[in-house]
Copies of this chain bind each other. A is one copy, B any other.
């Protein structure tokens, strides 16, 4: 029996990959899950205030993992998982690789977003030399303090929620969701997901993004 459903946001709850417009059917499905006793949590590269706003207004109760795994919120408790990245380092990364900073960087401390989202080998080397982690979600590059990535944040959320791995479901679209999938008992990749994510998912869905979320929740509730 699934008690907690972890869902990615960009490319998963949206109408498609590459758009920010949330899928109405997906919101309805999340609310159906909540009514059936499955708490829904957002696990995303977005900043804490953006995710907490969505969590509240979408009518969810499972908490959230923000900053690509570095920040956890559950039942009124907030928790920082990763090391803080100094502001100068963030600016230097943007300058070195000619990247545009996310408007949300002002509201982040451990994980920072940049576009374009294309990850290059020199970036990985640059981050490693400074004890940092760099990943791409397809929407943005994420430069994070250690440990970085969604795994550590999800483990902390499950601990705070007092939910076991077998009681946890997860859905996503991007390779950055692989770490989240490792912490969940049943995992679903939307049809337009990265091939690397499909390979580790227990279910490959027929439908894309938000429609895939409906498909997965229908399975969980049937």
| A residues neighboring B (CB under 8 Å) | 9, 14, 20-22, 24, 27-28, 46-47, 49-54, 56-59, 103-104, 106-107
Contacts and interface: CB of A to CB of B under 8 A. Distances in A.
Given A53-B50, A107-B107, A28 B24 contact: yes
Contact of A52 (B9, B14, B103): B103
A57 B24 contact: no
Contact of A57 (B20, B28, B103): B20
Nearest to A53: B50
A74 to B, nearest CB: 13
Nearest to A50: B53
A52 B52 contact: no
A104 B49 contact: yes
A170 B110 CA distance: 39
Number of copies of this chain in the oligomer? 2
Contact of A49 (B9, B14, B28, B49): B49
Contacts of A107: 49, 107
B54 A20 contact: no
A7 to B, nearest CB: 13
Contacts of A57: 9, 14, 20-22, 54
A21 B53 contact: no
A54 B27 CA distance: 13
Given A49-B104, A104-B49, A107-B107, A59 B27 contact: no
A59 B28 contact: no
Nearest to A107: B49
Contact of A50 (B21, B52, B58): B52
A24 B20 CA distance: 17
Given A24-B24, A24-B27, A53 B56 contact: no
A24 B59 CA distance: 11
A51 B59 CA distance: 16
A31 to B, nearest CB: 8
A126 to B, nearest CB: 28
Contacts of A52: 50, 103
